[in-house]
Structure 1
Amino acid sequence: MSKNTPKIAVVTDFDGTLMEQDVGDVLMEELGIVHAPQVMEASQLFREKKVGSLAWIEAAYPLLASRQLEVDQLLKSVHLRDGALEFLDFCEQKEVPVTVLSDGMQYYIEQILRSQQVQVTKVIGNPITYSAAGQFQFGVQNTNPACQWCGCCKASVVKQMKADGWLIMYIGDGSSDYYGSAFADWIFARASLANYLREEGTAYYPFETFHDILAILRANWPMYQDGTAAGRLSGRYPSACQFPVS
């Protein structure tokens, strides 16, 4: 790669994107956590857009504290989205780094990637995990002092990658990805993210499997390399996102 060639990086959501299922939802539903009073209240406030994911995460995830064995068992029932391995192989061949960026629990992301023998460049999620001794550890990834809406501030991560000179292909499906994709160059979207972008009038590539994404990339790779591929965005700034004044 020449010094004048833009650097391309992929940022992909995990739940409902790289994975066929929303793993966090599977855990919460199968373990009955969605029915806990504080979780029901947080869910209602989230649906009403009175709180962001941070409030829901703080209500729900601590209830996994003593349930590691049950969590591990449920993780055996989920699987990667069709074409994900082929897509990651394509990225490796093209020397494109892949960051998994999630508002979910870092423990299950790392467990699944390890069990599926999936290699990515980086995993960024909420530092919620079990120690080697089985002790539950809770944390969030939001280091943005100006905004405490999301557990993981995806917009901050992508914003920094752009500042570091990367062209970003963002892949996602949910509400946190609406913010995460705000600074991306190209967006591949499905489910609620696609609905948000369509209502907003923002260009995106629809997909259901990673084979759909691969078909687009293989047919147009030279244009992605030089930054001229169709659908490139100049920057969106969701009103909910706030950043420190520099």
Structure 2
Amino acid sequence: MAPASKAIIFTDFDGTITLKDSNDYLTDNLGYGEQKRREGNIDILENRVKFRVAFKEMLDSVPTPFDECVKILCDNIRLDPGFKEFYAWCRDEKIPVIVLSSGMEPIIRALLTKLVGPTADEIKIVSNQPKIFPDGTWTIDYHDDSDFGHDKSLAIRPTANLPKEDRPILFYCGDGVSDLSAARETDLLFAKVGHDLITYCEREGSPFTVFSSFTDIHRDIKDIMEDRTTIDEVAGRYAKEKAAKAAAGAEKAA
């Protein structure tokens, strides 16, 4: 995990680097549909079902051959508008970008190559794999035996536990229920506006800040690395803004 680096960016892929979640796209358009998928996500968030169970059910509802799924996704999934510039800056600064995903590596690699270009080959991917059967059907082959199928915290923890003098600053960017296990492992969590990860962090009291696109992440990380702000200041911004809005709302109501 490149401990000599001054920082490491760990990031979710689907719905974070991309505008749409590729697994959601497959489920909504080729599988059992958006309503049932959202019901499953709520069940996960409320601890009524394990992520690995609900996620496998989602993907198993997709009857389309895997190679065709990859082609469909390459035609329909778009990149976050700020990611390409952010990634170029990270390469210039020698800051590794590591994708931790509950999706499947062939899909992620195909999308990164198409959307970012050849330099995306330098992005390390830790994810699940597809298991394709002789009859052409497929299912997800999970990375580990955890309740998540891929416990993202396991990839972060060895670096997080390095001695202080060797430890880089660790950032994590995510949006959904598959990011729950990673939420407390890094120095600063970026949670995407309007998504389930914010609900979890607020409920658990985990510190975080929000982002709408990687343009926001790029600004904040650059400012931190160049000592124009601190992690605590960035992490406290969302809570302060929310408290100010609540106070303004209460004053208006009174």
- TM bucket (normalised to shorter chain) is 0.7 to 0.9
Per mean C-alpha deviation after superposition, the further-off stretch among 192-201 and 182-191 is: 192-201
- Give the match for residue 237 of structure 1: none
- Give the match for residue 172 of structure 2: 170
Q: 2:221 aligns with which of 210, 214, 217?
A: 217
- Give the match for residue 243 of structure 2: none
Gap runs ≥5 in structure 1: 234-246
Shift of 1:48: 4.7
Per mean C-alpha deviation after superposition, the further-off stretch among 62-71 and 202-211 is: 62-71
- Cα distance, 1:230–1:47 mapped onto 2, change above 3 Å: closer
Shift of 1:136: 4.1
Shift of 1:168: 1.1
- Give the match for residue 244 of structure 1: none
8 Å CA contact 1:12, 1:101 repeated in 2: yes
Shift of 1:184: 0.6
- Give the match for residue 187 of structure 2: 185
Shift of 1:175: 1.6
- Give the match for residue 110 of structure 1: 109
- Cα distance, 1:208–1:120 mapped onto 2, change above 3 Å: farther
Q: Distance in 2 between matches of 1:196 and 1:43?
A: 12
**What secondary structure is seen at the aligned counterpart in 1 of 2:7?**
strand
- Cα distance, 1:28–1:215 mapped onto 2, change above 3 Å: same
TM-score (norm 1): 0.76
8 Å CA contact 1:203, 1:231 repeated in 2: no
- How large is the RMSD of aligned CA atoms in angstroms? 3.3
Q: 1:230 aligns with which of 223, 229, 232?
A: 232
Alignment of 1:68-87 (within 5 A): 68-75=66-73, 76-87=75-86
Per mean C-alpha deviation after superposition, the further-off stretch among 54-63 and 9-18 is: 54-63
Shift of 1:16: 0.9
TM-score (norm 2): 0.74
8 Å CA contact 2:101, 2:126 repeated in 1: yes
Q: Distance in 1 between matches of 2:168 and 2:62?
A: 37
- Give the match for residue 201 of structure 1: 205
1:9-28 deviation per Cα after TM superposition (whole angstroms, max 9, x unaligned): 00000111011101100011
Shift of 1:217: 2.3
8 Å CA contact 1:187, 1:204 repeated in 2: yes
- Cα distance, 1:219–1:228 mapped onto 2, change above 3 Å: closer
- Identical columns (%): 25
Gap runs ≥5 in structure 2: 236-254
Per mean C-alpha deviation after superposition, the further-off stretch among 94-103 and 203-212 is: 203-212
Alignment of 1:55-66 (within 5 A): 55-64=53-62
Q: Distance in 1 between matches of 2:175 and 2:42?
A: 21
- Cα distance, 1:31–1:154 mapped onto 2, change above 3 Å: same
1:54-109 deviation per Cα after TM superposition (whole angstroms, max 9, x unaligned): 11233233454652354134211111111000111111111111110111122211
Aligned residues, how many?
A: 222
Q: Give the letter aligned to residue 150 of structure 1.
A: F
